[in-house]
Amino acid sequence: MNFQIAVLLGQDGVTNGAIYALLALSILLVFTVTRILLIPQGEFVTFGALTMAAIQSGKPTALGWLLLALVLIDCALDLRQMWKTGKQAGAMNYGEIKWSAIKIGYTAMLLVLLHSLTLADIPMLAQALLTLALVVPFGPILYRLFFQPIASAHSLVLLIVSIALHVAMVGIGLLLFGPEGARTAPFSDSGFRLGPVMLKSQTLWVILVSIALIVMLFIAFERTLYGKALRATAVNRMGARLMGISPVFAGKVTFAMATFIGALSGILIAPITTLYFDSGFIISLKGFVGAIIGGLASYPIAAIGAVAVGMVEAFSMFWASNYKEIIVFTLIIPFLLWRSLTSRHVEEEE
Amino acid sequence: MMNASELLLDVRQLRVAYGKVEALTGIDLRVPKGQIVTVIGPNGAGKTTLLSAIMGILPSKGEVHFDGRLQPVPEVEKLVGQGLGLVPEKRELFATMSVQDNLELGAFLRYRRGDRHLATTLAEVYSLFPRLFERRHQQAGTLSGGERQMLAIGRALMGKPQLLMLDEPSLGLAPLITREIFRIITDLRRQGVSILLVEQNARAALKVADYAYVLEGGAVAMEGPAAQLADDQRVIEAYLGLASKHQELLAS
């Protein structure tokens, strides 16, 4: 291996590592706030990437209709709930109707946009925004439909539902996007020459957007009251409820953030790798390894761990490409050992 | 003695069961505006259960009217929004967050509704608890027991509650700190906050309260104006006794 190859591999490693770091952070965020291990995180990545690819090829994706169906179910459930509590209280609270109208209106508007625009010709930024507008609402709606009714269940139950949701979403991905892989156009074609090597511009995009997103997350959680409210829910659920921070609200917001991060990651890496309907799982699993290195508790260690996973993956591809995945996932064992040997057992007071 | 319009909290026939075991068997309880009402009783009488049921943390049967509105199924978040605050026995602080963050989160619902005057309330809470101001950048988990209790009360006050429910505020605190907490409770009443106080320290509780309920075995055994109960022979024998004479001193 010479210096040039090392730089190329390092470039790959950092690019993948940045994506894994984003996924690790969102897995961690969802886990600490809702106790759900978000296995479908990878599907948000593929949904983002494949929707972007569909839009670029000018096809209005059927994802919009799926969203409409889920929104209708969601609104029907909310209205039924409103009817039931309203009858008990003897007075209806009509706030839900307004919300339902907004949600259905939003979806209808997206559908109109999808079918009236010549999707392949609009600027790439608009395509990306449309993709996000389409994919992100799935987060809160999936939380509402599948996790909100069992929010207080044992975390094992939550995990099982999460796996089921992942399997279902892979199937739906196949149905919506077909078995072909997709690759999108890069954001820009230019490259940068740094010493002897050429840096691909997409690599820089990935790294810059990831860093910007991590900084934004940090500011949101350290400086804004809404971010603090989410942290508070993670620290002490009962305490948060007593402050009026509802677990439903926290769950929906974290799921929205996780979907946003996932879909954006998908859009970012779609020009670099060919993604298939089932590629998401292995990607998010590597993010998960990063989250485990952080003990499912520490954000900075999870991010660094995820970047390390990307590096190890890139270099093992060079030396032992057949064993690439095995090497990456074996990484988890020493960390689990180290964690279980060093962590003291603290009795929960409850 | 109280007319219905000035009632802030009106609980009727509240029942709570843990499986087949009835923890509360039909409690009637009223808190008029601007008063301190206390619930005393031995361990396991159902005092904490009562507060949890009113707050909606535990499922219950019966009626809870708060601020003139019937709560069909009491919901924590809704009640907090209507001005009910609970300081639970376990405090439930955000241990890894700073004291100031804890306080700010107490006003989360007000912030969410567009109220941006949190700084004024924060200043009021700090003037009530200067200790918290000194330690505002410290993590809540590093505070002493008394400071934690102050933080829990301060955090609840940030929501500007109409009724503050305190569960054993003196539990595990040194006598001098207990005295400080009770001084603050009377201060709060002067500022117009109504209080429902659950206490084991019966003597101190009866001293500050206007009206009192004695809870035994999940039912109200006695009720009446606090001063009257404090002189009641049965209460003196069961809860006050001679041994707790020093508590009177501390409560003065």
Contact with chain B for residue A90, Cβ under 8 A: yes
Which residue is closest to A235 within chain B, CA to CA? B94
The predicted pLDDT at position B252 comes to: 60
User: What's the pTM?
Assistant: 0.86
Average pLDDT over residues A234-244: 92
A190 Cα distance to chain centroid: 28
What three-state secondary structure class fits B14? Answer: strand
Overall residue count recorded for chain A in this entry: 350
How would you class A341 by CB atoms within 10 Å of its CB: exposed for 0-12, middle for 13-18, buried for 19 or more? exposed
Which residue is closest to B104 within chain A, CA to CA? A225
Tell me whether strands B211-216 and B219-225 are parallel, antiparallel or unpaired.
antiparallel
Cβ of B105 within 8 Å of Cβ of A89? The answer is no
Which residue is closest to A245 within chain B, CA to CA? B77
Contact list, A240 vs chain B (CB under 8 Å): 94, 105
Tokens 């007075």, residue located: A91
Cβ of A238 within 8 Å of Cβ of B155? The answer is no
A132-136 LR contacts (CB < 8 Å, sep 24+)? A132/A48, A132/A260, A132/A263, A132/A264, A132/A267, A134/A51, A134/A61, A134/A63, A134/A64, A134/A67, A134/A110, A135/A44, A135/A47, A135/A48, A135/A51, A135/A63, A135/A259, A135/A262, A135/A263, A136/A256, A136/A259, A136/A260, A136/A263
- Banded pLDDT at A349 (limits 50, 70, 90): very low
Q: Which of A89, A90, A229 sits opposite B105 (nearest CB)?
A: A229
The overall longest dimension of chain A from CA atoms, in Å, is: 78
Contact with chain B for residue A246, Cβ under 8 A: yes
Q: Which two tokens stand for residue A140?
A: 């809160």
Rounded to an integer, what distance in angstroms lies between the CA atom of residue A68 and that of residue A105? 10
The predicted pLDDT at position B1 comes to: 44
Cβ of A245 within 8 Å of Cβ of B159? The answer is no
Cβ of A243 within 8 Å of Cβ of B155? The answer is yes
Contact with chain B for residue A88, Cβ under 8 A: yes
| B108: nearest Cα among A21, A246, A124, A106 | A246
| A258: nearest Cα among A8, A14, A11, A24 | A24
Top-confidence residue, A344 or A271: A271
| A57: nearest Cα among A182, A210, A170 | A182
Q: What are phi and psi of B134, to 5 degrees?
A: -60, -35
Q: Which of B76, B77, B111 sits opposite A225 (nearest CB)?
A: B111
How far apart are the two ends of chain A, measured CA to CA in Å?
A: 56
- Rounded to a whole number of angstroms, the distance from the CA of A187 to the nearest CA of chain B is 38
The predicted pLDDT at position A345 comes to: 57
Q: Where are the alpha helices (DSSP H) in A117-154?
A: 124-135, 138-142
Average pLDDT over residues A271-275: 90
- Banded pLDDT at A183 (limits 50, 70, 90): confident
Which residue is closest to B158 within chain A, CA to CA? A243
Domains and CATH numbers, chain B: 1-83+163-173+195-252 (3.40.50.300), 90-160 (no CATH)
Above 50 in pLDDT, residue A198?
yes
- Banded pLDDT at A203 (limits 50, 70, 90): confident
Q: Are A19 and A283 in contact (CB under 8 A)?
A: yes
Burial letters for B65-88: b for 16+ Cβ neighbours within 10 Å, e otherwise?
bbbeeebbebebbbbbbbbbbbbb
Average pLDDT over residues A20-32: 94
Contact with chain B for residue A346, Cβ under 8 A: no
Give the domain A3-58+118-342 fold: ABC transporter involved in vitamin B12 uptake, BtuC (1.10.3470)
Cβ of A244 within 8 Å of Cβ of B80? The answer is yes
Cβ of A242 within 8 Å of Cβ of B104? The answer is no
* Interface mutation target, options B70, B96, B108, B166, chain A, most CBs of A under 10 Å: B108
* Interface mutation target, options A96, A223, A242, chain B, most CBs of B under 10 Å: A242
Cβ of A88 within 8 Å of Cβ of B155? The answer is no
Which residue is closest to B110 within chain A, CA to CA? A244
Average pLDDT over residues A306-334: 88
Contact list, A239 vs chain B (CB under 8 Å): 91-94
Q: Are A52 and A270 in contact (CB under 8 A)?
A: yes
- Rounded to a whole number of angstroms, the distance from the CA of B56 to the nearest CA of chain A is 10
Tens digit of pLDDT at every position of chain B (252 positions): 444 458 899 999 999 988 888 889 989 999 999 999 999 988 888 899 999 999 988 888 888 899 888 877 778 888 998 999 999 999 999 999 999 999 999 999 999 988 888 899 999 999 989 999 999 999 999 999 889 999 999 999 999 999 999 999 988 888 888 888 899 899 888 888 999 999 888 888 999 999 999 998 889 998 999 989 888 888 887 777 655 555 556 666
Cβ of A85 within 8 Å of Cβ of B72? The answer is yes
- Banded pLDDT at A59 (limits 50, 70, 90): confident
What three-state secondary structure class fits B234? Answer: helix
Rounded to an integer, what distance in angstroms lies between the CA atom of residue B79 and that of residue B61? 17
Range from A193-207, A291-305, B79-93 carrying the lowest mean pLDDT: A193-207
Cβ of A88 within 8 Å of Cβ of B106? The answer is no
Task: Indicate the DSSP class of residue B195.
Answer: E
pLDDT digits (tens, 9 = 90+) for A91-101: 666 777 888 99
Percent of chain A with pLDDT over 70: 95
Above 90 in pLDDT, residue A141?
yes
Q: Which of B73, B77, B159 sits opposite A241 (nearest CB)?
A: B77
pLDDT digits (tens, 9 = 90+) for B228-238: 988 888 888 77
Above 70 in pLDDT, residue A350?
no
- Rounded to a whole number of angstroms, the distance from the CA of B227 to the nearest CA of chain A is 32
The predicted pLDDT at position A344 comes to: 65
Domain map of chain A by residue range? Answer: 3-58+118-342
Q: Which of B73, B96, B105 sits opposite A243 (nearest CB)?
A: B105
The predicted pLDDT at position A319 comes to: 86
